[in-house]
Amino acid sequence: MELVENMLCGAEQSLSRLITLVERDTPDVPQIMKKILPRTGRASCIGITGPPGSGKSTLVDRLTAIARCKGLSVGIIAVDPTSPFSGGAVLGDRIRMQQHYLDDGVFIRSMATRGSLGGLPRAARAVIKLLDAFGKDLIIVETVGVGQTELDIMKMVDTTVVVLFPGGGDAIQTMKAGLMEIANIFVVNKADRQGAEQLVMELEAMLSLNPKNSYWEVPVLCTQAINNVGIEELYREIERHRNVLESTGRLSQQRQKQRREELIQAIEHGVSERLSRLMEKDENLIALFEKVEKGEMDPYSAAKDILSNGAMLRGWFAKLESEGNGGGKKK
The per-residue pLDDT for 247 is 96
- Provide the pLDDT confidence category of residue 52 given band limits of 50, 70 and 90: confident
Which of 116-125, 159-168, 273-282 is predicted least confidently?
116-125
Q: What is the pLDDT of residues 207-217, one digit of tens each?
A: 888 777 788 99
Confidence of residue 92 (pLDDT cuts 50, 70, 90): very low
**Which residues 6+ apart lie within 8 Å of 64 measured at CB?**
74, 76, 97, 100, 106, 140
Q: Which of 55-69, 142-156, 258-272, 296-310 has the lowest mean pLDDT?
A: 142-156
No. of helices (H) and no. of strands (E), the chain: 14, 7
